[in-house]
Structure 1
Amino acid sequence: MKRKAITRENMQKALKSQKNSEKSLQESYLNKRFLENQQVKDSNVIALFMSMPFEFDTTHIRKQLLEQNKIIVIPKVIGKGLMKFYPYDEKRLELSKFGILEPVDLEPMIPDLILVPGLAFDREGYRIGYGGGFYDRYLENYYGETISLAFDFQKQDFQVEDFDMKVKKIYFYSRKEEK
């Protein structure tokens, strides 16, 4: 088994075994950091991922951004290894073959900023996702802002590959910075 596959497996186990209280504490801190980011404030079209139960929950961020009249877009798989972002409309979502809610019958949009999901992140801005390469392929030709949010244990060292794309900003939970 390749090292990234092992890291993927270990991170999924760690995410699934988090205590709800600790997860909520870290999410609250990271939500605040994200929403206070100037690039987020300056962006009109923001891409979010529809989180699975064990992942960082994007619901609070989505609600806050919608209250600020931001346009939220979410990813939809459009082919082998390819995705585009479409406007979020809770009445026009369907469950994909990956078990994730995706938009139906809407026109794609290019976001100003993307909240990029991941399982593990290094200090340089690289990430390990779920192995499909969807975000790496999209980010290859994307020049807008990218941010990731990570729980404390998701900071990992790993071997970066040629096709891996960097995230410009990663907020890691830190008790030292907590106010």
Structure 2
Amino acid sequence: MNYAKEIRKEKLAQRDSLTIEEISEKSRIIEKKILSLDEIQSALNIFIYVSFRSEVSTLWLIEELLKNSKKISVPITHVAERRMEAIHIEDLSRDLVPGYCNIPEPNEERVRNNVTDPFNIDVVIIPGSVFDERGARFGYGGGYYDRFLEKIPFAVRIGLAFEMQMVEEAPIQPHDELLDYIVTEQRTIKAKRL
């Protein structure tokens, strides 16, 4: 197994060892930090992942952003085409159903009628397994977010992570897309994306 796979496996195992209470407590701190960012306050269109398992929770954050009149889009994964699409949602409980790997995704009607043009997205909030202070990020190995981000280089990119997911230097590949911010329960890191 190569180093990148090993570090991903190790960090995901550490994250999976968190209790529901720890995930909830740390996530709430992170969510509040996100809401205070100038880039979030000035954004009109925000693309954000719907949290699953031990990821930094985004459910309360999505609710707050909707209350603040932000246009929210979430991912739908097209596995056969190896791509993601942004779908506008208005209500978490009404608009989402279990999708790829049981991850909550927009229902068929939303997917059919509410595709968001990626060029309208101001901010992208994404999960991952491993992060470093340069803004490097490992996902889960599918490359969906990297391909999505590559198309919209102008959108502000924010990764959400627990501090335990930070490493000194993630061994990234040339196709790996960098982030502008990484927000953990302990700090907000402004990366240096070129």
Does 2:12 correspond to 1:5? no
Does 2:183 correspond to 1:171? yes
Q: By percentage of residues, which structure has more helix?
A: 2
Secondary structure (helix, strand or coil) at the match of 2:35 reads helix
Deviation at 1:14, TM superposition (A): 1.0
Cα distance between partner residues in 1 of 2:157 and 2:73: 14
Cα distance between partner residues in 1 of 2:170 and 2:35: 29
- Which residue type is aligned with residue 147 of structure 1? I
TM-score by length of 1: 0.90
TM-score by length of 2: 0.83
Deviates more, 1:37-46 or 1:81-90: 81-90
Aligned residue number for residue 47 of structure 1: 47
Aligned residue number for residue 135 of structure 2: 125
**Unaligned regions of 5+ residues in structure 2, if any?**
188-194
- Which residue type is aligned with residue 159 of structure 2? S
**Unaligned regions of 5+ residues in structure 1, if any?**
none
Please provide the CA RMSD for this pair: 1.6
Cα distance between partner residues in 1 of 2:136 and 2:145: 12
Count of paired positions? 175
Aligned residue number for residue 97 of structure 2: 94
Q: CA 1:107 to 1:17, structure 2 compared with 1: closer, same or farther past 3 Å? A: same
1:22-171 aligned at under 5 Å gives the runs 22-78=22-78, 79-88=80-89, 89-90=91-92, 91-103=94-106, 104=108, 105-109=112-116, 110=118, 111-142=121-152, 143-156=154-167, 157-171=169-183
- 1:90-132 deviations in whole A, cap 9, x for unaligned? 3233322321121122332122111011111011001010100
Cα distance between partner residues in 2 of 1:98 and 1:19: 21
